[in-house]
Structure 1
Amino acid sequence: MAHRLLHVEASPRGEASVSTTLAAHFIQRFRDDEPQLDVDRLRIWEEQLPDLHGALLSAKYAVLSGRDLDRAEAGAWDRIAGLIERVRGADSILISTPIWNFGIPYRLKHWIDLITQPGLSFAFDPQSGYRPLLLPRPATVVLASSGDYSTGPSWGRPDLASGYLREALRFIGIGEPEIVLAGPTAGDAARQQTARAEASGRLDARIAAHRRAAQ
């Protein structure tokens, strides 16, 4: 059976994006190992993501309260279930994104908010608390930034994206992602080249680890 990879592409810059380019490198190396690799490419800026209001918001609170959904709510909830099923059906996940204003692009946050839903990707019990409903699987995050966060804050600016993505994926059950930093993407050309080469090397090592696990 072909390995299914869900690629969540969060940069709006297409091939001009460092995170997208590195993700393409990762996918090609993966395909070299697994020619039948099935890539489900979810382009955040092109995907018609529903707004979290109206019938959808009402459906969420109906689920939380245990009330039956009406027709409009059920239709809205089915759209959410479809987005989560793309995650559930993936053998591994790749997220490629820039850092924007210390965090992630708002469209990526929107997608995470949509797939983090009671009864679909997490459960809550007043006695035991929260419980993830998705199963762990390999997850890789390519995180590009104009600054260099490899040793900590960049010129005093924090990296809030890495921590948020780790906790968001853990919460629904995906588990601990491998964060591959790619920065700086601006400034000194030699430093940019070194950073990109180091990120490519880490992605290659990720593929090698997958190969060993599959043997």
Structure 2
Amino acid sequence: MNKLLHISASPRGPRSESLAIAATFLDELRAIRPDVTVEHWDLWDGTLPEFGPPAAAAKMAIFGGADPEGDEATAWRAARDTFERFDFADHYLFTVPMWNASVPYILKQLIDVISQPGMIFGFDPSTGYTGLLQNKRAAVIYTGAVYGPDRGPGFGNDFQQPYFEDWLRWAGVDDIRSIEFRPNLATADPEPGRRAAHLRATEVARGFLSPGEPTLLAG
């Protein structure tokens, strides 16, 4: 249980607040668990397949108990290869900036590609969905420069964290530990919130590969 996949939905590289917080998390994690294997997956690296008409047809063929053929089979293999890259990990770290009140489209693309029957979920006509990602844990770093829970509706709404955590739970991941940095860059000094987010990342990392809640730092 020592393989961690860091999935980044931020395209901002060294200017990314979420990636900087992720670096703090990973530095602490490696310091206390040098046996951990970390793989980084930049969703902007061009490796995500599209999920278009052939893939959608393949999905419906699978639902109907048939085997996809031709272009549909090729699209289905691409989706399965992507899922297997995702599923190899014991646990996950996600960096998720807020885009237009929700998640970046590249993260939604990953979700749409891998959320397939027999991969992420099972389905029973009587009882509905069952998440197949069992015994996995996720740490999620949420950032945003305008929205904040203490601000009025003029600063937007949060369809980022509720959407993403609903998907994780639907997929079977119930152990979710969140880290948030949501400064109002127009009017406030972001530094206190930045320090708090990095401290929270350290706290979460300290207990992340152990059962139960992460150990809290004093002070």
What TM-score does the superposition give when structure 1 sets the normalisation length?
A: 0.90
**Against the structure 1 CA distance between its residues 83 and 77, is the aligned structure 2 distance closer, same or farther, given a 3 Å change threshold?**
same
| Cα distance change of structure 1 residues 54 and 155 upon mapping to structure 2, 3 Å threshold | closer
CA contact (8 A) 1:18 1:185 kept: no
CA distance in 1, matches of 2:151, 2:128: 33
The structural deviation recorded for 1:172 is: 1.1
Which SS does the other structure have where 1:96 is aligned? strand
CA–CA distance in 2 between the matches of 1:60 and 1:156? 38
Alpha-carbon distance in structure 2 between the residues aligned to 1:115 and 1:51: 11
* Runs of 5+ consecutive residues of structure 1 not aligned to the other structure: none
2:105 is aligned with 1:106? yes
Aligned Cα root-mean-square deviation (Å): 2.1
* Other-structure match for 1:96: 95
CA distance in 2, matches of 1:15, 1:151: 28
1:96-135 alignment runs, 5 A limit:
96-135=95-134
CA contact (8 A) 1:33 1:211 kept: no
- The verdict on how the C-alpha distance between 1:211 and 1:91 changes in structure 2, with shifts beyond 3 A counting, is closer
- Distance verdict in 2 for CA 1:112–1:67, change over 3 Å: same
Structure-2 separation of matches of 1:141 and 1:43:
15
Match for residue 201 of structure 2 among 200, 203, 214: 203
SS at match of 1:213: coil
Residue of structure 1 equivalent to 2:84: 85
Matched residue pairs, number? 212
More helix by share: 1
What is the aligned-residue identity percentage?
32
| Alignment partner of 2:191 out of 190, 193, 198 | 193
Checking the alignment, whether the CA contact within 8 Å between 1:146 and 1:185 is kept in structure 2 is yes
**CA separation of 1:194/1:154 partners in 2, compared to 1, >3 Å: closer, same or farther?**
farther
> Aligned in 2, Cα 1:137/1:68: closer, same or farther, shift over 3 Å?
same
CA deviations over 1:83-132 (Å, ceiling 9, x no partner): 22233221210110210111111111111111111121111111111111
- Whether the aligned pair in 1 keeps the contact of 2:5 and 2:39 (CA below 8 Å) is yes
Residue of structure 2 in register with 1:167 after alignment:
166
- Paired residues of 2:147 and 2:156 also in contact (CA < 8 A): no
Q: What does residue range 1-215 of structure 1 map to in structure 2 within 5 Å?
A: 3-147=2-146, 149-151=148-150, 155-184=154-183, 186-188=185-187, 190=189, 192-210=190-208, 212-213=210-211
Deviations 1:164-194 (A, max 9, x none): 011111111122422211021623563x111
Q: What CA distance in whole angstroms lies between the structure 2 residues aligned with 1:170 and 1:150? A: 22
Contact preservation (8 Å) 2:146, 2:185: yes
